[in-house]
């Protein structure tokens, strides 16, 4: 049985001033799957990822045409953007924990939403850290600064911080590019377990990573989606020669 469609993008164009960064993107992203975006630098992967929670709103002179339907509504229409970014959380390339305790990093979002009940906050912190596979490593140092964690732990903390807001989708923009191979493997294992609960969309420069962790892969080139399909098909029997050339290392 196919999973329900979470995002449906229709004829999406994006311009930075006169420069067209995305060209007629049409894509259905299903829930409870890992969807990977691959392609050379500057091809539009991260730009498209940022469209899905309207992070491009923060950039001047961006013009977006077309639709991005999320659970039946066009997110570029009249919607509550803060609510959208709560439902569609984001983890960035470099770990960016707040300069506060591990506990307060996780509790920060729920507190901002008005939650003051200490017992409920304790539960959210524990649950989020457990889901991010970090609880056992930090449970005895929750009041210590998050900046004292290793890079891989900091990135899992950022994932836990996102989880604490109870999102439906987690966007990840090259979440392991700053990490060593062991920390990278932990994050990849984590994504596999998290997709049971969330929809995960990841931009990655590593084709090996896309092949290991994703259910579907989109290959971007110069602002276009050249091919989007089940990951094994993209990697073993792509329909487009440009996809094959990129995956086999002939360019990129």
Instruction: Summarize pLDDT for 20-74 with one digit per residue, the tens.
Output: 999 999 999 999 999 999 999 999 999 999 999 999 988 889 999 999 999 889 9
Question: For the chain, which ranges sit under pLDDT 50?
Answer: none
pLDDT of 149: 97
pLDDT of 58: 85
pLDDT of 250: 80
pLDDT of 60: 87
pLDDT of 196: 95
pTM score, two decimals? 0.95
Instruction: Provide the sign of the torsion angle of the four alpha carbons 93, 188, 236, 49, taken in this order.
Output: negative
Which tokens belong to 197?
């609960």
Residue among 211, 203, 99 at smallest CA distance from 154: 99
Residues 6+ apart with CB under 8 A from 188: 176, 209, 212, 213
What are the distances in angstroms from CA 5 to CA 53, 69, 200? 16, 10, 13
Residue-range domains of the chain with CATH: 5-248 (3.40.50.300)
pLDDT of 252: 56
């Amino acid at each position: 049985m196919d999973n329900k469609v979470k995002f449906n993008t229709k004829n999406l164009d994006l311009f930075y001033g006169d420069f067209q960064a995305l060209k007629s993107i049409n894509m259905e992203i299903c829930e409870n799957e890992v969807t990977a975006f691959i392609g050379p630098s500057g091809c539009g992967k991260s730009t498209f990822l940022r469209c899905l929670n309207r992070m491009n709103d923060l950039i001047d002179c961006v013009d977006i045409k077309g639709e991005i339907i999320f659970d039946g509504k066009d997110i570029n229409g009249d919607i509550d953007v803060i609510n959208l970014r709560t439902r569609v959380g984001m983890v960035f390339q470099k770990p960016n924990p707040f300069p506060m305790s591990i506990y307060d990093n996780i509790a920060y979002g729920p507190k901002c939403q008005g939650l003051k009940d200490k017992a409920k906050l304790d539960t959210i912190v524990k649950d989020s850290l457990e889901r991010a596979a970090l609880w056992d490593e930090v449970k005895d140092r929750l009041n210590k600064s998050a900046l004292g964690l290793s890079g891989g732990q900091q990135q899992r903390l950022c994932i836990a911080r996102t989880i604490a807001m109870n999102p439906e989708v987690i966007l990840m923009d090259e979440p392991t590019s700053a990490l060593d191979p062991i920390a990278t493997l932990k994050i990849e294992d984590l994504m596999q377990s998290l997709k049971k609960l969330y929809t995960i969309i990841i931009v990655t420069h590593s084709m090996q990573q896309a092949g290991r962790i994703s259910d579907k892969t989109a290959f971007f080139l110069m602002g276009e989606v050249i091919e989007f399909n089940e990951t094994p098909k993209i990697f073993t029997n792509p329909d487009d020669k440009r996809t094959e050339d990129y995956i086999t290392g002939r360019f990129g």
